[in-house]
Structure 1
């Protein structure tokens, strides 16, 4: 009888253990299902051991000719390394919006090549990685200091510069010599002497400026030694006297302006450096000047492009390898030859290493280490105001006082009788 009781108790115990085991399995299965669901909604990055089957995805914001050159350089990179890189271009004016919308939904590229002033806002938005996180040593560290300032935020560098395309003042030496002037004026009295010589040219204009182009306006003022954001009284007076000697040109008439410059109908022209380089390759004999002090104080005017690595990338090392190839000395020379844009590596302007560029580019202040920057550029903060105010002033439709009041943020209200 006792043995039967033992068997009965053993059977009950076995059933209890079996039931408990099934209950635990149900709980674990439910947990695993939820975990898989979470992982599908929030995919995890691949482990370092996973093979890279997909190409590096790159998005650029370039014109057609520059995009074709980048594709050619990328073909060389892929042939050399075996790494596949897929490049998509967004030439549209709203490229920044398109790019950030893709990044917001997790569909961004691995690498971006965008306008350098975009880098800080992309960093603030959390869209890109600091350079230090994926590239321990970079050619970007040898870049022009003013360019690097555009790429810094919160104590880190967020982009690697590719080029710069600042506006320059272009002239032909022969045109100045016929006026009895040995070289382009620096500032102040020299410009007054040039204006006096200009009086003998009768109906000919002195300088051509792209119509409505604020970058060209700022360059003209910078070459004359005038601070666009806070000009001196003497500077504005000189600019006022120059207004009658300006010829404003539309984009469709730029080639006519080049012809006028060659025929001494014009003496000077303000254009992007890339345009000056391309034109000089056709005819030669051009000289140019960058208003360096203006660019040191306002780096955004250098109009460069920079690479950035997306915070979403799963292949930062491969992205860094591609960027390093595109920013090497050899690639910088190829890019400059093809696009006319200027390199950003300091060493390419030192020791005659940049002699392949014609006309030669002489830099001094931009090659010096940058002083610690504590405030943003006043001109950049007032850029929209400057764009409108400078256009009205240079067209002779406002006074020196009105220009100053507008830039100070309190323009005079005009009455209906004025």
Structure 2
């Protein structure tokens, strides 16, 4: 009889336990049902739960005022759609080392926007997480393979391409015609003829470009039939002869003062700058071959996650949103920085309406990427030598010697 009472007592306790648990089970189940009715959960199915998103992601970029304003708009849309909080920080353009200093003392952001060529250095210093550690699914559309190659080191990918802004040749057709040219020169002989015509016409300048970035001379060298990584004598001779007729700027071409760029046959500048000032009768040309062969010379940017980030999943979601095809396209229309999502270039309307250059070689899946010649010679050192060549501080022979034995030479 005593044992039966104990059984009833235990049964009563068990019944009470089940009764107390059932409301929470129902609440949890109903919450999951409600989640599926939330549009933001359908749009971002991999989002961490809203309750875990109170700590904001720290994002550091280095953008112009106009670009940063555009990023803030897209970031607001991201936060509204996901519930993930984000704090954006914009480093002044004249303080490029601030981010690296913060990373060195362990105070860097969760996500950073950097120049693509900096990804390798940041990865080798241990500042970045490999993409494979936080990217849980394949992106909707892959980036250009030439840019992805810049993100790779030690068998891993360390960054995700964000945008690109290659240097282009901007020809003033009317000025060319006054020199007897109906179209831009195509051979070294044509370039020599153009230089002679400028000399005979007593024209002050043949071309304008900046000297503190290597990309302008890279584009010019390719057009005159040379390779910056292995410059030959004849193209270098032309560069040296043309130097007195080059308008060399320390800063960006758009910041030039005291000269009418529209009176110069050729201006070499980033595509985003050329697209802003392009008028009827102007021709834009992209040195596709050199960029396809040497991706590190293709001016581009990438997003990367810091190795000390405590929010890698949320950071990955922010990156996925900012590099999605729709956002890339909106950014292109607002800033003229070219998208890196390959699928966008498959649409004829995009190519024919918005672009005045071709990207056929860059769109190819090339496995023959010749990056070693530039990687062995630090890009910043190459920039120093190009600046010195354009300013007349070194001769073409000294420049050629550097490109052969760069590791043994020091800039003046």
TM-score bracket, shorter-length normalisation: 0.7 to 0.9
Task: Find the counterpart in structure 2 of residue 340 from structure 1.
Answer: 336
- Provide the rounded CA distance (Å) in 2 between the counterparts of 1:382 and 1:390: 12
1:347 shift after superposition: 2.5
1:151 shift after superposition: 0.5
Aligned in 2, Cα 1:60/1:403: closer, same or farther, shift over 3 Å?
Answer: closer
Q: Is contact 1:163-1:306 (8 Å) kept? A: yes
- Provide the rounded CA distance (Å) in 2 between the counterparts of 1:382 and 1:319: 30
Q: How does 1:18-417 map to 2 (within 5 A)?
A: 51-91=52-92, 92-102=95-105, 104=106, 107-139=107-139, 142-251=142-251, 254=254, 260-262=260-262, 265-280=263-278, 283=279, 285-355=281-351, 358=354, 360-373=356-369, 376-378=372-374, 381-396=377-392, 398-409=394-405
Aligned in 2, Cα 1:219/1:375: closer, same or farther, shift over 3 Å?
Answer: closer
1:382 shift after superposition: 4.8
1:52 shift after superposition: 3.0
- Provide the rounded CA distance (Å) in 2 between the counterparts of 1:127 and 1:358: 37
1:50 shift after superposition: 7.4
Aligned in 2, Cα 1:329/1:242: closer, same or farther, shift over 3 Å?
Answer: same
Aligned in 2, Cα 1:208/1:128: closer, same or farther, shift over 3 Å?
Answer: same
Aligned in 2, Cα 1:234/1:50: closer, same or farther, shift over 3 Å?
Answer: same
Aligned in 2, Cα 1:62/1:377: closer, same or farther, shift over 3 Å?
Answer: farther
Offset from partner CA, 1:342-395 (integer Å, 9 cap, x none): 111223233424248655221121111122557623376154553344344334
Give TM-score, length-normalised by structure 2.
0.77
- Provide the rounded CA distance (Å) in 2 between the counterparts of 1:225 and 1:270: 16
SS in 2 for 1:354: helix
Aligned in 2, Cα 1:330/1:181: closer, same or farther, shift over 3 Å?
Answer: same
Offset from partner CA, 1:261-296 (integer Å, 9 cap, x none): 33xx2000111222112223xx45432222122222
- Provide the rounded CA distance (Å) in 2 between the counterparts of 1:124 and 1:317: 22
Offset from partner CA, 1:120-154 (integer Å, 9 cap, x none): 22222333222222224444862122211111111
- Provide the rounded CA distance (Å) in 2 between the counterparts of 1:334 and 1:285: 27
Q: Which runs of 5+ in 2 are unaligned?
A: 1-47
- Provide the rounded CA distance (Å) in 1 between the counterparts of 2:259 and 2:289: 30
Aligned length: 360
- Provide the rounded CA distance (Å) in 2 between the counterparts of 1:222 and 1:272: 16
- Higher mean C-alpha displacement, 182-191 vs 388-397: 388-397
Offset from partner CA, 1:217-274 (integer Å, 9 cap, x none): 2222123231123211221122223223212234387455797233xx2000111222
- Provide the rounded CA distance (Å) in 1 between the counterparts of 2:137 and 2:274: 33
Q: Is contact 1:216-1:270 (8 Å) kept? A: yes
Q: Which runs of 5+ in 1 are unaligned?
A: 1-46, 414-418
1:195 shift after superposition: 2.4
* Structure index of larger Rg: 1
What is the RMSD of the two structures over their aligned residues, measured on CA atoms?
3.1
1:163 shift after superposition: 0.5
Aligned in 2, Cα 1:51/1:386: closer, same or farther, shift over 3 Å?
Answer: closer
